[in-house]
Amino acid sequence: MKKIFLLAAIFLTITGLAQKVTVTGIAIDSLSRQPIPNATITLLLNSDSSLVSFTMGNDNGRFELKDIRFGEYRLLITHINYYNRITTFSIKDGNIADLGNVLMHDRSKILSEVTISSEAPPVTIIDDTIQYNAGSFRTPPNANVEQLLKKLPGVKVEKDGTIKAQGEKVNRVLVDGKEFFGNDPKVAIRNLPADAIDKVQVYDRQSEQAQLTGFDDGNYEKTINLTLKKDKKKGMFGKANAGVGNNKRFEGKFNLNSFKGARQMSAIAMANNTNAEGFSFMDILNFKGELAKMQMGGGGNMNINITEEDAAAFGLGGSNNPGIRTTWGSGFNYNNILGNKTDLQSNFFYNRYDPNIESHIQRQYFLPDSSYYYSQNSDNNNINSNQRLNLNVFYQLDSMNTIRIIPSLNLQQTSNSSFTDYQTLTENRGITNEGYSNSFADNKGFTFRNELIYGRKLNRKGRTLSFSLQTSINGSNGNGDLASINSFYKTDGSLLSKDTLDQRNITAATLTGYTARVAFTERIFKRSLIELSIARSKTNSTSAKNTFDYNVQNGKHDQENTLLSNNFENSYGYVHGGLRLRTQKKKYIFSVGAVWQQAYLDGKAIATIKDSLVSKTFKNLLPSARIQYIISKFKRLSINYTASTRQPDIAQLQPVPDNSNSLNIKEGNPNLRQEYNHNIQANLNLVSPYKNKNLFVFFTLQSTRNKIVNADSINALGIKRTKPVNVNGVYNINGNINYSIPLRFLKATIEVSSNISYYNGTQFINSNSNNIKALTVGPEVRLDINPTPKINLSLGTALNFSNTKYSLRSSGETKYIRQEFNGSVDWEMPNLFFLSTGITYIINSQRAPGYNGKIPLWNASLSKQVLRFNRGEIRLSAVDLLNRNIGINRISNQNYIEDSRVNTLKQFFLLSFTYSLSKTGLNNAGGGGMRIMR
């Protein structure tokens, strides 16, 4: 290692001493012989078209490029009114290289006898969109879009496929502005080839109604749009892949795309047991998510959070890629313009997801005067299948009237079995209780949603009338079995009591709802619009559960358990009226407004022992404001504020206890108030396409009044009773910063980023308040080096530091650190061989015994391109060469610290063959456009 640093120091010293030259010149009109102001000047190495420097000419056409070393160069001059001009020259000696007058030909006066293809900068800003030139970022042969996105500054792809751009989660990926298999980003990035992409555009996609009226209604999605290369828009392309390996591992993937003008057709299919996910499992919890969306009030983003219980029930959460998964999926996507008035977007997708997850959990709970320990081992086998159909039809009635219809249908079926054993110990490691449970659940359900949007432009500019109607119908039913034995112990360790459960339950749930909104806009003054809106929403839901105990006399489950049987009926609705003003100037766009909202919640729980009625009314004023400041063409700052409400659901309000888990009894609170959220978000985007320097800053603050949190009471037997209550003073702060610059002396790009989050909240244990303060900081550095056009090196390091303080705990602080070091090499070898290898080294420290570890993960592959036009590829892949992969995770922002370990996919080898349907074969995505000197 010391030798490497010494060689690097010598190299940097020699490079720094190299003589530097200033390149000058003047852009001149070839006919008038007048200077051309504000032309764009790009300097490239003549050998490989690597970017060396950028600048702009002044008002007199003169340009100057400083600190240029000796060598052979190409100078590209571009201007919107002139044909591109390229001139070559060399620098061998002297302090100044004066190119003199460089003639350019006016587009409007001279025929295009010579056309030079455009060489775009790697990153630029177009209005509200950050645009990446895909050809500027090299990827290995046969790479998919996910591998391309990992190269883009400001874009991060997590191990589970989650995409973040400038610190925000990307919820939708489009292809040429059209839906690609609905709103699942993974389908696009893991099934489209990187070499088909021309541009990657990142922007905030507003709602359909906001796009019509011109008002940002706070409902937007961070979106990526993939624009295809021209040759991909008028033909057929795709790939088929099949592979087999040891330990019965297999992989298969197929994608076929046929694009012609507005018509887009795509078919995909996949199957594997190697944890390679080509789609998301977002619809598993669709019923709960749909209910939460219908209950959201006011403006603002709708972020649906899945609880720990939900994650545990479906085997989610914890590790990025827990368990061993077998997945199957197939689908078809069709988009087209029918006639000259109808734009159709449609897709169907089927998937089957079968994970096997073994987990081991250790928790330390904190009490006012002590703590206790809980451990759990579980084995889960789940089969989840889903079918989803999405349509989006836009019809242009005439020049003034439009209508859009967006229906979707999801069919779901799950079959889950779980075996769990658990134990609770006192602070001195004395046993309090222990037990095991064996459960099975089989559920079926459907979700149908439809959105209708009508828009009309009236007889004055800026005057519009729009109407939207969202409707939802959900239904589910299921049955399950639960067998458990729990033992409780005295303080001396002797057995106190034992309870046994052998039950069967039948469940059913329904949801119907609608939200209607009418908005009218009118231009006032020269650059301002005013919007008036009214809305009405109503949702009705039911949930029934009948539980039957085992009857030893006849061997059947026919004895109704009245304590665990109930029937919920819930009705939630709101009406609101809003007023907003929007002003657009040259340097800024500003909007401000408010919505007055009255909401009601009525609920009824019907149980054999005790019935319960709940009726609530809420009145709120929900302000909103947004400002976007245009610093320059490539620099923008935006700040957004919204207020929103979240209602307690009927389960949180019902005072009927849920005893399905005898160690964790839950009961509602009819005195709960609704949550009131203040949300502030800020984005700063500074892009320098001339120097390839980029700075992205993202910041959010959410403060909640009447936050609904848990109040736990724990008795001497370790039985916990949980009841929701309201608290104030809860807030979250999240930030992300990303800065990237070129290191030309290394032919490299370095990217420095960091995320930071701070949580301040309160929970209750045995009537005592426990204030929790959690700080997480995660700096990261990535270095991409291209020493030659055929070698790509990547080095990176990341540190994640967490510090949590608990007011109830005497020591009051928990710290742990996760370190990651990674490196990869992509080498295009002679005779069409390609070597790709990468290693990630993870160090976990300051955790519970058995959950610390140093984990080296080494993957490698060797491939050979074969057949005519390089259409074929034979690849030998090795995963986890050192056979050291384990999955561990820590949670510390609750009333406990949890360390978990799950089973993971271990070492295997895979031999695969890929066939390309395109004559361009399996070439990399960096073949077109301008390659950046990294």
Q: What's the whole-number average pLDDT of the chain?
A: 83
From the list 816, 810, 825, 699, the residue with the least C-alpha distance to 758 is: 699
* pLDDT bracket for residue 322 (50, 70, 90): low
The token duo for 238 is 């795709």
The residues near 72 (Cβ < 8 Å, ≥ 6 apart) are 45, 46, 47, 88, 89, 90
Lowest mean pLDDT among 263-267, 285-289, 691-695, 838-842: 285-289
* pLDDT bracket for residue 287 (50, 70, 90): very low
> With contact defined as beta carbons under 8 Å apart, do 192 and 141 qualify?
no
If one compares 629 and 664, the residue with the highest pLDDT of the two is 629
pLDDT for the residue 525: 82
Please provide residue 797's backbone torsions phi and psi, each rounded to the nearest 5 degrees. -150, 145
Please provide residue 384's backbone torsions phi and psi, each rounded to the nearest 5 degrees. -125, 125
How far from 925 is each of 142, 204, 483, CA to CA, in Å?
9, 26, 55
**Position 193 pLDDT exceeds 50:** yes
The token duo for 664 is 């964790």
How far from 727 is each of 527, 653, 724, 730, 769, CA to CA, in Å?
43, 16, 10, 7, 10
What dihedral do alpha carbons 69, 70, 72, 75 form, nearest 10°?
Answer: 40
Beta bridge pairs of residue 325: 355
Beta bridge pairs of residue 841: 821, 856
> With contact defined as beta carbons under 8 Å apart, do 603 and 672 qualify?
no
The token duo for 466 is 């729009």
pLDDT for the residue 925: 39
Distance CA 647, CA 544 (A): 21
pLDDT for the residue 601: 86
The residues near 111 (Cβ < 8 Å, ≥ 6 apart) are none
* pLDDT bracket for residue 866 (50, 70, 90): very high
pLDDT tens across 751-783, in order?
Answer: 999 999 999 999 998 888 989 999 999 999 999
pLDDT for the residue 84: 80
pLDDT for the residue 313: 30
**Position 217 pLDDT exceeds 60:** no
First to last CA, the chain: 23
The residues near 367 (Cβ < 8 Å, ≥ 6 apart) are 714, 765, 766, 808
Distance CA 388, CA 395 (A): 23
From the list 803, 856, 933, the residue with the least C-alpha distance to 136 is: 933
pLDDT for the residue 423: 93
> With contact defined as beta carbons under 8 Å apart, do 474 and 446 qualify?
yes
| Residue with token string 């290191």 | 743
| Residue with token string 């061997």 | 555
The token duo for 83 is 């044909």
pLDDT for the residue 461: 80
Distance CA 228, CA 194 (A): 10
**Position 700 pLDDT exceeds 60:** yes
pLDDT for the residue 660: 65
pLDDT for the residue 314: 29
Distance CA 799, CA 784 (A): 19
Share of the chain above pLDDT 90, in %: 42
How far from 365 is each of 370, 754, 894, CA to CA, in Å?
9, 31, 9
How does DSSP assign 145-171, residue by residue? HHHHHTTSTTEEE-TTS-EEETTEE--
pLDDT for the residue 206: 77
pLDDT tens across 454-471, in order?
Answer: 999 888 888 889 999 999
Distance CA 337, CA 934 (A): 42
Distance CA 694, CA 898 (A): 38
Distance CA 379, CA 356 (A): 8
**Position 837 pLDDT exceeds 80:** yes
pLDDT tens across 884-921, in order?
Answer: 888 888 877 677 888 888 888 889 999 999 998 875 44
pLDDT tens across 572-616, in order?
Answer: 999 999 999 989 888 888 899 999 999 998 888 776 555 677 788
If one compares 562 and 444, the residue with the highest pLDDT of the two is 444
Measured at the CA of 824, the angle between CA 819 and CA 828, to 5 degrees, comes to 175
From the list 478, 519, 451, 452, the residue with the least C-alpha distance to 293 is: 451
The residues near 828 (Cβ < 8 Å, ≥ 6 apart) are 141, 790, 791, 834, 924
**Position 718 pLDDT exceeds 90:** no
Distance CA 417, CA 412 (A): 17
> With contact defined as beta carbons under 8 Å apart, do 791 and 826 qualify?
yes
How far from 99 is each of 22, 43, 93, 407, CA to CA, in Å?
11, 13, 14, 62
| Residue with token string 């690097």 | 8
pLDDT for the residue 470: 96
**Position 626 pLDDT exceeds 80:** yes
Distance CA 336, CA 346 (A): 9
How does DSSP assign 872-926, residue by residue? EEEEEEEESTT----EEEEE-SSSEEEEEEE-----EEEEEEEEESSTTTT--GG
How far from 295 is each of 69, 310, 407, 933, CA to CA, in Å?
63, 18, 20, 51
CA 822 distance to own-chain centroid: 22
How far from 252 is each of 356, 399, 528, 875, CA to CA, in Å?
20, 48, 55, 13
Lowest mean pLDDT among 136-140, 724-728, 765-769: 136-140
Distance CA 889, CA 360 (A): 11
From the list 423, 424, 427, 432, the residue with the least C-alpha distance to 492 is: 432
* pLDDT bracket for residue 846 (50, 70, 90): low
> With contact defined as beta carbons under 8 Å apart, do 775 and 757 qualify?
yes
Distance CA 325, CA 251 (A): 12
Cα radius of gyration rounded to whole Å, the chain: 31
Q: What is the pTM of this model?
A: 0.77
Amino acid letter at 815?
A: K
What is the bridge-based pairing of β-strands 720-727 and 664-666?
Answer: parallel
Q: Which helix (H) or strand (E) holds 7?
A: helix 2-17
**Position 262 pLDDT exceeds 60:** yes
The token duo for 71 is 């060598």
If one compares 107 and 312, the residue with the highest pLDDT of the two is 107
Beta bridge pairs of residue 877: 861, 910
Amino acid letter at 704?
A: T
Provide the 10 A C-beta neighbour count for residue 335. 22
The residues near 830 (Cβ < 8 Å, ≥ 6 apart) are none
pLDDT tens across 18-72, in order?
Answer: 467 888 999 998 888 889 988 888 888 776 666 677 777 888 899 988 878 888 8
- Name the burial class of residue 452, with classes exposed (0-12), middle (13-18) and buried (19+) by CB atoms within 10 angstroms of its CB: middle
pLDDT for the residue 50: 64
pLDDT for the residue 216: 60
From the list 866, 868, 875, the residue with the least C-alpha distance to 913 is: 875
Q: Which helix (H) or strand (E) holds 291?
A: helix 286-295
How far from 639 is each of 412, 472, 527, 635, 682, CA to CA, in Å?
40, 33, 20, 14, 4
Average pLDDT (234-250) is: 91
Share of the chain above pLDDT 70, in %: 86
**Position 333 pLDDT exceeds 90:** yes
